[in-house]
Amino acid sequence: MDSKPAFIDLFCGCGGFTLGMERAGFRCLAAVDFYAEAVDTLQRNLTHIKYVLERDLTQFRPVELAAMIGVNSVDVIVGGPPCQGFSTARQVDGANHGERLTQDLRQHLYQELLKYVDYFKPKVFVMENVLGIKTAAGGEYFVRVQSEARALG
């Protein structure tokens, strides 16, 4: 058995987080994303990772992943929920600023990452997003991410 600390990568995209974690000495148990082309890219570049999965994290439950990878806990969870809903690039027309925040279901996908954190109870989790998450809706989403994460312990 490999003694390196284990992690899973959610919303893995083409594997930037995964590659960085591996280079830092961690072992990837699974990488999951909804975007087929990104998953294909990760699979082609990091062929040693057994579970590179094209799944919708709003439908794919943590217990299902646990059954596949054969563990109920991991050392670290990393993830980059889609950032488009918070991107400052969308502020050009005021769509993501103040009272004019455009509703975008992707703004709630961080909650899917937190479901996995709650289930797998990692020692730490890292969530990457864009700077705009701190200011979108007057900081409402940033505060939500923090408070919901703290509520998990």
* Token pair recorded at residue 125: 């989790």
Report residue 85 CA to chain centroid gap.
Answer: 15
* Beta bridge partners of residue 78, listed in sequence order: 9, 126
Q: Which of 12, 14, 28, 83 is catalytic?
A: 83
Q: Judge whether 83 counts as a catalytic residue.
A: yes
Q: For the CA atoms of the chain, what is the radius of gyration?
A: 16
The conformation of residue 8, written as its DSSP 8-state character, comes to E
- SS3 assignment, position 91: helix
* Beta bridge partners of residue 77, listed in sequence order: 8, 125
> Residue 147, exposed/middle/buried by CB under 10 A (0-12, 13-18, 19+)?
exposed
The conformation of residue 78, written as its DSSP 8-state character, comes to E
Q: Name the residues annotated as catalytic.
A: 83
